[in-house]
Amino acid sequence: MRTEINGNQLELMTGDITRQQTDAIVNAANGSLLGGGGVDGAIHRAAGPELLKECKQIRKELLHNEYLPTGEAVLTKGYQLPASYVIHTVGPVWNNSGSEPGLLANCYLSSLELAKEKNLSSISFPSISTGVYGYPIEKAAQVALQTITEFLQNHHFGKVVMTLFSEQDYEVYSQALKRVISV
């Protein structure tokens, strides 16, 4: 499914984000930046060991050994990936505290702002927080697509791809996008 927003493209597709050829792909990382399971593990495996090396360097130099806060984003090179860059962001763990939608929106927004700041014009996102972090996907899809749509309405960016890992996830995001663009 594809839609045009203010001269930008927003596309939903199923697939493996490590194969995306956009300028950047987004990693649903954990705050340590040291890798993990799910999409994080897949990105590190596909990018090769240089990625972990750069992540460790960022942890040390930029973050002074602290964790990357939830909702924030940092950029590394893509190494052996087809994408030139990886933007690492930390999604919220779902615990129904009320703070999750704002934090999840910040993940998408800070990633898009970082990409724009680096003059990139295409980016692929996975469905942040809806795996191990347990965010209900219907709710996450609404936040993700609302945030991306608003950003595209206000900027000349290029192309944003949501790369969903299953047909079920794709269906949920398609329904959510129809709602978001019909308002």
Of 147, 152, 115, 151, the residue nearest 129 (C-alpha): 147
Q: Segment 120-179, which members bind ligand ADP (CB under 6 A)?
A: 126-133, 163, 165, 169
Stretch that binds ligand ADP, among 2-10, 11-19, 66-74, 146-154 (CB under 6 A): 11-19
Supply the minimum distance, in Å, between the C-beta of residue 49 and ligand ADP. 18
C-alpha 143, offset from chain centre: 12
- Does 18 bind ligand ADP (CB under 6 A)? Our answer is yes
Site string for ligand ADP, 96-125 (x = CB under 6 A): ------------------------------
Report in angstroms the alpha-carbon separations of 21 from 32, 48, 78, 133, 159: 26, 17, 11, 26, 12
Identity of the residue, 156 or 159, whose beta carbon is nearer to ligand ADP in the bound complex: 159
- Does 28 bind ligand ADP (CB under 6 A)? Our answer is yes
Identity of the residue, 52 or 155, whose beta carbon is nearer to ligand ADP in the bound complex: 52
Q: What is the DSSP letter of 133?
A: T
Backbone torsion region of residue 10, taken as left when φ is above 0, otherwise alpha when ψ lies between -120 and 50, otherwise beta: beta
Q: Segment 44-73, which members bind ligand ADP (CB under 6 A)?
A: none
Stretch that binds ligand ADP, among 14-22, 49-57, 65-73, 142-150 (CB under 6 A): 14-22
List phi, psi (to 5°) of 21.
Answer: -105, 20
Encoded amino acid at 33, one letter:
L
Measured CA to CA, the distance from residue 38 to residue 41 in angstroms comes to 6
Instruction: Say which residue the tokens 């930008």 belong to.
Output: 8
Identity of the residue, 153 or 166, whose beta carbon is nearer to ligand ADP in the bound complex: 166
Which residues contribute to the site for ligand ADP (CB under 6 A)? 16-18, 28, 38-40, 42, 91, 126-133, 163, 165, 169
